[in-house]
Amino acid sequence: MHFNSTLIVSLLAVGAVATPLHVRDDGDQPGMNDDHDNEGGLKKICPHLNTQDSGCIRYTKGFDVTGVLTEVDLTFDSNNGNIKDECDCIQACLDRPDTCANYVWKFTDNSGHRTCTLYSNFNLPPSVTVSVDVADSTGIAKLQGINNPQAGGQVPQAFLDPPTNSKADPRAVSGPIWQLQGGGVQC
């Protein structure tokens, strides 16, 4: 039997198109991954969490995308439970569905451990400032004086050595927690 080269190339092209697309997540990592998947996107983190995607696929590494309208600070030895890793931090936000919309897992002090801070909003853009009327607000945790009014700015980088801030922290992670109508959660 004799095939011409055009037919063979056509069949190979059809086979390449028919192969399954690469899935964004490899599903076997217990926490943070330093690698990117083959498509260049971030891998899912914390696949054991009870979310719509069985973990989080929307997050930012190395930066703090969170805001300050409400602030809950949790530490490694917190009375609210030991926060040992980014998955514990995300779970702490999931445990507060009425007040937590995003989290950050980064170094904030000299304890030698990253801390978990939970917020109800995101970083404001540079030309936006919000002043909070705490007396007439509900669900607002006490704000530090420096956080009211909340001035917008660029999303801050996370560092390994606060307050010096000379060594970037590429393993810090922050991101959204969305409570979906009907009871689902995405992050």
| Residue 114: inside a domain | yes
Please tell me whether residue 117 adopts helix, strand or coil conformation: strand
Q: Is residue 7 part of a domain?
A: no
Question: What is the pLDDT at residue 52?
Answer: 92
Is 95 within the bounds of a domain? yes
Angstrom CA distances, 56 to 59, 167, 184, stand at 7, 26, 13
The dihedrals phi and psi of 130, each to the nearest 5 degrees, come to -120, 125
Q: CA nearest 114: which of 93, 86, 91, 144?
A: 86
If one counts the domains in the chain, the total is 1
Query: pTM of the full predicted structure?
Result: 0.73
Whether residue 90 contacts residue 31, with contact meaning beta carbons closer than 8 Å, is answered with no
Using CA atoms, how far apart are residues 50 and 129, in angstroms rounded to an integer? 35
Is residue 6, in this structure, part of any structural domain at all? no
Please tell me the predicted confidence (pLDDT) of residue 78.
Answer: 62
Cβ 39 vs Cβ 20: under 8 Å:
no
**Residue 37, in any domain of the structure:** yes
Rounded Cα–Cα distance for residues 175 and 173 (Å): 7
Angle (CA) 65 103 28, round 5°: 105
Res 57: pLDDT: 92
Residue 146: domain span: 27-187
Residue 20 is assigned to a structural domain of this protein: no
Identify the pLDDT of residue 167: 95
Cα angle 34, 72, 161; round to 5: 45
How far apart are the C-alpha atoms of 44 and 39, rounded to whole Å?
13
10-residue mean pLDDT profile of the chain (187 residues): values are: 42 38 38 46 90 93 88 77 89 92 91 88 88 82 76 92 94 94 91
Q: Would residue 131 count as lying in a domain?
A: yes
Residue 3 lies in a domain: no
